[in-house]
Amino acid sequence: MPHASEGEICQAVLGFVTEGTYPEEKVVAAKFPAAALAKELELISQAREQVENEISSLSRENTFDADDWIVQAQQLHADIERSRVTAREIVSQHEQTSPLREKVEDASAKVALIETEIAFNQAVAETLEEVQRLCEQLELGRTTLGSGHITAAIEQLESTKTAIETDTPFSNTNVMGILSGEVARLRGEIEDALRFRWSDQVTIDRAKGEFRITDDTDSLDETIASLSRLGIISSANEKFQNDFIATVIDPILLPRADGSSRAVEVTETVVRIDSAYSRTTVVEILSRITDVLNYLRLKLPSSMLATLPQSLIPAVASKAIAGWLSSAIPTTLDGLEDFENTLDCVLHFTKTIQSWEWSGQEELVSWVNQAPRLWLTRRRVDSLDSVRKAIAASKGTTKQVERVEKEKVSHADEALLENATTDDWDADWDDEKEEASAAAQPEEDEEDVSAWGLDEDDNEAPAKPDVPDAPEEDDADDAWGWGDDDEEKGDENKKPPVVTEKKPTGGEKSTPSSSPKEVVLREVYTVTDIPDSVIEIVLQQIFDSRDIAQPAHSKSRVASSGAGLLALPTLILAMFKATSSAFYSLKLSSGQMFLYNDSLYLAGRVRELIEEYELSRLNPDVEALEKFGKIAYSKEMQTQSTIVSDLLDGTQGFGQCSDQPYKSECENAVSATADRIRDVYKEWQPILSHSALLQSIGSLLSTVIGKIIMDVEDLGDISEDQSKQLVLFCNQISKLEDLFMPENTADPEAVPVTAVYVSNWLRFQYLINILESSLADIKFLWLEGELGLEFSMDEVIDLIVALFAESDYRRRAIADIRRAPRE
């Protein structure tokens, strides 16, 4: 209740005194403060004065009885006094009610607290009663479980769980957590009991290799229903399937390395795996699996068989294909009959599964339908693996083979062949662009190494041998021959042109004959046993492709893939290119040269097969093999050229070759370079044909000579001592011409054919003459001799300036050389 203010209390007392009005309830209940008495008296005094004034005013205006007014004033005064006494009494009574009010408020608070405690105690009691009831239900569930009534225990669990989760008074209390834990514990106990019963009804003993299912179908159905009710049937099925596969299926379907497997005994009560391994066939394996699956079909309830085959049969099919069926695919035609029996057996197995109204056998049906493709794939894998094994098993055994080729040449070329036997008929390294360029400029002399693909410049001595532009050997596309078909197929049967024009010695010119003569070219070179092994694998595919169309095999399911066997030789040859480089490099000395010989020999053998069996599809493979061999040759030539160039770099350009210690370094470098070329000659001599050997050694020597000529021409000033020392160095290199003797010649007067194989040999000899000749001799060589054929006028003048001091005689000699006419 709101309290009255001091002003309201004073006005209420004043109103009661003056007007006789009774104050409001809040004023009556309020305590009259002692401090308000003075104010109250003041108000009453003011009211009295006001009344007196009004009376005086009225008395002046009206004639009245003063005695009556006096009596009224006295009465008013008495009323005021009574009001004052009343106010004091009110204040006194108010002061007496405050302690009572406080007692009432205190008593009300205690009553409310007691009522709250009573309600709380009542709720706690109800909660404890509910908890006790739920705990009794859980204990009842455990008791029921202990007596073996799992279904009743599950029902008790579900009802208790529902009661806990639905409209409970302790949803957000610790009791809820405790009860939930007890429910989970009871559920775990039920699950353990179910799994124990399941393992007792469906027994899988890995140690003994036994599997049995109880004969009590109703009890097994109840167990499965309980597992489903708890939502753990999937995990139970998964565990059962894994254990069943590991204990029964795997011992049957996973063969050992020797192809043996374990037998199985299936009775009405048990499936027992034999502990011993024995040799078996695919037919027996599928029969064993059929017996085992039939045992499952008869013993397991329909509720479980509705889902189990959907995952079990695909697993069985995958293991059967991986373990037995894939390996049953034959790699020869002799095994096709057994393979047909295997396919029939697989189809019978799938039909049996289908008759049980099971699913999951689609993979096996697909495998049978894809038998032609699978057989061809197996043949491809086997043939490629055979190439790898043949290369890996090679002992590096070598043999000499002869290459024979007939070519029509002119009489002049025939004479050149008789004198020098230098035609490089066994290889052609010029690409089509180079051939076109050579045809456009027939008057230019061909390089002695052009047939080997070494594109050296006539006018400039290279520091290293030029090789045909070709992709690196380790390029995967080139190694496998992809893209070879894109090369100009119109020239597949075009033979490489024979080099019949060589640089004549002494400036002689050859005249073509009007009647070419056929010349038989023969050379012997060395190959390993690898090409013959590869050819045997290729022939196997060709023979099988022919034989599979014969009546003995024509009705086979895989007969339609016979034509596909003819595509395998391309892959076999690609496999040779992809795997041979590493073997030749690691296992054979001068492996790249052996690889070159083997590649060309293999290409020749394949060309024979093309002609014999009309396999024009292999023409690109022949070209790819030849290209592959030439790449190996180029790499080896580049390596050896780099080596001799690096050795010759020890001369440091012959700048101070007559002064020690540079003189010794130059001597060592030149000697090491010459020895290296002789070592390479000895290493390659038993491998390459004689012409190929001279071509390769000539290329290396040409590289060395070109570098020496370039270094000498770069010398701005050559002293007499330097000139003599340079002549000694050049003569040391010139002694290498004894490597270029004609093959199988007994003529003691036979001369080396170095100039035929070393493009800059005559230029090198003229350089020696210039270094050791007088100025008059050099002028004579230019004016009367053939020095102009090897050196340009500027080169001769630069050498003269470097060799001879400034003089009138040198100036006249240079002037005569400049004025000399050029043919």
pLDDT at 412: 53
Q: Is the pLDDT of residue 268 over 60?
A: yes
Residue 279 Rama label (left phi>0; alpha psi -120 to 50; beta): beta
Tokens encoding 602: 């293999």
In this structure, the dihedral spanned by the alpha carbons of residues 252, 254, 255 and 257, taken in order and rounded to 10 degrees, is -160
Least confident of 184-198, 470-484, 654-668: 470-484
Residue type at 605 in one-letter notation = R
Q: ∠439-641-678 over CA atoms, to 5°?
A: 110
Please state the rounded mean pLDDT for residues 545-566: 88
Name the pairing type of β-strands 260-266 and 210-213. unpaired
Task: List pLDDT tens digits, range 373-383.
Answer: 999 999 999 99
Please state the rounded mean pLDDT for residues 778-788: 89
pLDDT at 467: 36
Helix 662-684 crosses helix 619-648 at what angle (to 10 degrees)?
150
Please state the rounded mean pLDDT for residues 312-319: 93
Please state the rounded mean pLDDT for residues 514-536: 84
Q: Which residues contact 819 (CB under 8 A, 6 or more apart)?
A: none
Q: Is the pLDDT of residue 454 over 60?
A: no
Q: Is the pLDDT of residue 114 over 50?
A: yes
Of 468, 501, 455, nearest in space to 699 by CA: 455
> Hey, which residues does 400 pair with through a beta bridge?
526
Q: What is the mean pLDDT of the chain?
A: 80
pLDDT at 59: 66
pLDDT at 113: 87
pLDDT at 571: 95
Please state the rounded mean pLDDT for residues 679-686: 94
198 falls in which pLDDT band (50, 70, 90)?
confident
> Hey, which residues does 409 pair with through a beta bridge?
517
**How many of the other CB atoms lie within 10 Å of CB of 746?**
5
Distance between CA atoms of residues 31 and 99, nearest Å: 13
pLDDT at 62: 60
Of 763, 660, 752, 753, nearest in space to 704 by CA: 763
For residue 716, give Cα distances in angstroms to 151, 228, 511, 763, 800.
112, 102, 43, 19, 10
718 falls in which pLDDT band (50, 70, 90)?
confident
Residue type at 104 in one-letter notation = V
pLDDT at 464: 34
pLDDT at 480: 41
Of 730, 735, 815, nearest in space to 770 by CA: 730
- Long-range interactions of 507-514: CB distance < 8 A, separation 24+: 507/786, 507/789, 510/410, 510/412, 510/413, 510/416, 511/412, 512/410, 512/412, 513/410, 513/411, 513/412
Residue count (the chain): 823
> Hey, which residues does 408 pair with through a beta bridge?
518
Distance between CA atoms of residues 647 and 641, nearest Å: 10
Check if the beta carbon of residue 733 is closer than 8 Å to that of residue 760.
no
Please state the rounded mean pLDDT for residues 206-222: 84
Residue 226 Rama label (left phi>0; alpha psi -120 to 50; beta): alpha
Task: List pLDDT tens digits, range 305-315.
Answer: 888 888 899 99
DSSP line for 200-256 = HHEEEETTTTEEEE-S-HHHHHHHHHHHHHHT-HHHHHHHHHHHHIIIIIHHHHS--
Q: Is the pLDDT of residue 481 over 90?
A: no
Please state the rounded mean pLDDT for residues 780-791: 89
Please state the rounded mean pLDDT for residues 551-556: 84
Cα 667 to chain center, whole Å?
54
568: enclosing H helix or E strand: helix 568-587
Of 775, 675, 685, 691, nearest in space to 735 by CA: 675
190 falls in which pLDDT band (50, 70, 90)?
confident
Please state the rounded mean pLDDT for residues 137-155: 77
Q: Which residues contact 38 (CB under 8 A, 6 or more apart)?
A: none
Distance between CA atoms of residues 132 and 87, nearest Å: 67
Bigger pLDDT: 218 vs 367: 367
Please state the rounded mean pLDDT for residues 310-325: 92
Q: Is the pLDDT of residue 660 over 60?
A: yes
> Can you tell me whether residue 614 is helix, strand or coil?
coil
pLDDT at 510: 39
Q: ∠274-275-278 over CA atoms, to 5°?
A: 75
Q: What percent of the chain has pLDDT over 70?
A: 81
Bigger pLDDT: 489 vs 187: 187
Exposure on the CB side of residue 619, measured as CA atoms within 13 A: 16
DSSP line for 254-265 = S--TTSEEEEEE
CA terminus-to-terminus distance, the chain: 144
Backbone angles phi, psi at 664, to 5 degrees: -65, -40
Check if the beta carbon of residue 679 is closer than 8 Å to that of residue 686.
no
Of 627, 575, 573, nearest in space to 600 by CA: 627
| SS3 assignment for 7-62 | HHHHHHHHHHHHCCCCCCHHHHHCCCCCCHHHHHHHHHHHHHHHHHHHHHHHHHHC
Distance between CA atoms of residues 678 and 647, nearest Å: 14
Sorted by where each begins, the domain ranges of the chain are: 6-132, 206-369, 398-528+589-772
Distance between CA atoms of residues 219 and 616, nearest Å: 74
Check if the beta carbon of residue 331 is closer than 8 Å to that of residue 378.
yes
What sign has the CA pseudo-torsion 406, 411, 412, 415? positive
Q: What percent of the chain has pLDDT over 90?
A: 36
Check if the beta carbon of residue 328 is closer than 8 Å to that of residue 343.
no
428 falls in which pLDDT band (50, 70, 90)?
very low
Please state the rounded mean pLDDT for residues 10-22: 75
Please state the rounded mean pLDDT for residues 354-365: 91
Distance between CA atoms of residues 358 and 363, nearest Å: 13
599 falls in which pLDDT band (50, 70, 90)?
very high
pLDDT at 490: 34
Q: Is the pTM of this model over 0.75?
A: no
Name the pairing type of β-strands 271-279 and 398-409. unpaired
572 falls in which pLDDT band (50, 70, 90)?
very high
Q: Is the pLDDT of residue 596 over 60?
A: yes
CA-based R_g, the chain, Å? 60
pLDDT at 475: 40
> Hey, which residues does 205 pair with through a beta bridge?
210
Please state the rounded mean pLDDT for residues 123-127: 69
Check if the beta carbon of residue 568 is closer than 8 Å to that of residue 617.
no
pLDDT at 90: 81
Winning range, highest mean pLDDT, from 137-146, 188-197, 392-401, 619-628: 619-628
Distance between CA atoms of residues 40 and 12, nearest Å: 10
Q: Is the pLDDT of residue 442 over 60?
A: no
Tokens encoding 108: 């009300």
pLDDT at 823: 54
Distance between CA atoms of residues 447 and 626, nearest Å: 21
Least confident of 152-156, 679-683, 768-772: 152-156
45 falls in which pLDDT band (50, 70, 90)?
confident
Residue 347 has what DSSP assignment?
Answer: H
Backbone angles phi, psi at 749, to 5 degrees: -95, 5
pLDDT at 2: 58
Q: Is the pLDDT of residue 568 over 90?
A: yes
Please state the rounded mean pLDDT for residues 728-753: 84
169 falls in which pLDDT band (50, 70, 90)?
low
